[in-house]
Structures are given as structure tokens and as C-alpha cells.
Amino acid sequence: MNRLLPARPINHRLQASAAPALKHPPIATTLLLILSLPVMIFLHACASRANEPAPKVATAAAVVPGLPADAHVVTPGEVKEVLEITGTLAANQNVVISSELTKKVVSVPVREGNIVSKGTLLFQLDDADLQAQLERLRQQEKLAALNEARLKDLIAHDAASQQDYDQAATNLAVLKAEIRQLLTTIDKTRIRAPFNGRIGIIRTYPGALVSPSTPLTTIVDDAQVKVEFSVPEKYANLVAQGKQQTFTVESDSTEYKATVMAKESYVDQATRTLLVRATAANTNHKLVVGQSARLTLALRSSDNALQIPSQSLMPSSQGYSVFVVKSGKAVLTPVAVGQRGPDNVQITKGLSVGDTVVVSNQLRLSNGADVNIVNLK
């Protein structure tokens, strides 16, 4: 038979083993409270903010109806009709220096680029043989002069015939003529500047044998330059002689003045243009002969012309038109244009003084649409 063990010792041991477990819960609870305290504070703060009244949203500004756009008020002003054409700068005088004789160059006293005066010696050719001929002729002239004087005295005393005297006088005159001719030839060995000007590139040097076909250098009178240009025949009478025109060149941005001096007597039938020549001062020698010149010719002018900004124009197959603002609405208005400028265009028909034209946002406008003018110029 099985024996039952006593229950009391068992319970005693269970209580003894459970006793240590009852001592740990207070420590865990304390740690849990300490760790949860920041979370509780954060939740309390969030709840406080949630209870605050929401900030008031600013009331939207009242919206003005219509498409925003910039506009321009049409006013009268001065307009000059100009014609831009290209011309060429030419020298006042320009020649190629060459020799009239076939001789050897002895010296070149001038330098390239020098500005020389009229008569300045440029090249000296060999004249030794000519000087020898001159000396021989002068000796012969002395002898002929003595013979002429002797026969003249004999004629006075009826000791010689008139025919002998005439022959002696003729010989003397011929010798004098030959001397003058030789002096002219000798003078040709000294090549001088024909006018005041600037020397170009020198193409020969001492020791070279030159001939009349040999170019030695060039000389250009560029203290004053000629501006030559052609205008269409429709403007032939608008470019008057004595009228001042302006032009520029590629080498600098200076605006130069030129005065019309002459016009060709006929219109070129091939190009239907009229050749015009003007002159401009070039004392500082900045303008170079042969340069192209961009001329702005003043043709007509008007003091009461209507102008609008170029961006206000709307091209179409029927011509040009603009939006005119009338009673807050855009009205598409056809116009006729005249002279154009860098930023403005002349209106010859379709607008009146005081009209307000739209200059921006035209592509979004339609005829009769509401317009809100943002900037009025």
C-alpha cells in the first residue's frame, strides 16, 4: 500500500522558495516609472498643443479680373527716315610711284609709313653718265658763246658775213636747248613726292635696276578721305549736295561725319543706283583707305509721328495689328507701319494719340478679352 507523504513540509518549502521572488517587483516598478516619465511629459505637451486654437489663415487678396499685361500710351514724337547702306573709303589722292628712266637705284632716303611733304626726295637714281654729258655740253656752250660774240663784233666792223654769225648763234641756241633737255632728264633721276601724303610699302632698294614699269612705292593723301556709296534711284533726289551724313567703320566704334560733295550725272542701268561721293576729315589718320563704311543716310524727318514698341506688333498674312485697350477690353486693331527704329516702329495708320496698346502677353489675348494693365508706360 502506498503511503501518503505529509503535506506541511512541502508547503513550507514552497513558501521558502517563493519568498525571494516577492522582494523584486518594487524595483522593476520604480525603473518602469522612471523610464516612462519622459514619454508622459511629451504626450502631455502634444495634447496641450492640440488644444491650442489654429492660426487664422490670411484672407486672399481680391483678384482683379482680366489677363495681366503691360501697356504703352501712344504719343507723338520725332521720327527720322534713314537708309543704311555700305560704302567704301577712298583716298583724296593716291598714286603709284615709279621711275621714268631705266636706271639703278642709288639711295632711298624715305622710310615706309612716313608722312612726307610735297617735293620730298623719295628715290635717287644713278645720274653719273648724265652729269658727264651735261659737263660736255656746257663746255661746248662756252665755246659756242665765244664764237657768237666774236662774229658779232666782226659783223659790226663788216669783217664777217651775216651767214657766219647766224650759224654761230644757232649753234649756241641748240646747245642751250640740249642742256635744258639734259637737266630735265637728270631731274627725273630724283623721284620726289608729288603731294603731301603717307608712304606705303617700299618695293625696291639701293642697287636695284628699275624701269618705267617697276612700281617703287605708293603715296596716299589720307588727311581727307572720300566716302563713295550708291543709293537706290528712288532716293536720288533726297541725298543733296552739301548735306552731312554719318558713317562707321569696323575698326572702331566712332561715328564719323561726311559731307556730300558730288553725285554721278546718271543712274547705273545695271544696278539702278546713283553713285555719290562724300568727304570726311581724317586728321588723326584712323580711317584706312579701302575700308568699308556703314552709312546711315538721313532722308526724311517728322516731328509728330506716332511710335509704339516693336514688340506690340502682331504680324499676320493680312499685315500687322495691335491690341488696343478700350474700357478694360482688348480690341484687335489693324495698323500700317512706317519707319522702324532699334526699339520702336512708326505707325502711319490705325492708331491715334492717347491710345493704349498692349506690349506683353498678346499671345494669350483674344479680341474682346478682359485686360488687367499691370505696368503702363
Q: Where are the domains of the chain?
A: 69-80+303-376, 84-90+219-301, 127-188
Q: How confident is the model at residue 36 (pLDDT cuts 50, 70, 90)?
A: low
Phi and psi at 158, nearest 5°, equal 55, 35
Tell whether domain 84-90+219-301 is in CATH 3.30.497.10. no
Read out DSSP for 249-266?
ETTEEEEEEEEEEEE-SS
Rg from Cα positions in the chain: 54
Torsion of the alpha carbons at 179, 182, 187 and 188, rounded to the nearest 10: 160
> Model-level pTM greater than 0.85?
no
Backbone dihedral region for residue 4 (phi beyond 0: left; psi -120 to 50: alpha; all else: beta): beta
Mean pLDDT score, 128-144: 95
261, pLDDT greater than 90? yes
CATH of domain 69-80+303-376: 2.40.420.20
Q: CATH class for domain 127-188?
A: mainly alpha
Mean pLDDT score, 283-305: 86
Assess whether the region 69-80+303-376 and the region 84-90+219-301 belong to the same CATH fold.
no
pLDDT per residue as tens digits for the range 57-70? 444 444 557 899 99
pLDDT per residue as tens digits for the range 54-107? 444 444 444 557 899 999 999 888 877 778 899 999 999 999 999 999 999 999
Phi and psi at 38, nearest 5°, equal -60, -35
Share of the chain above pLDDT 70, in %: 83
Burial class (CB in 10 A: 0-12, 13-18, 19+), 82: middle
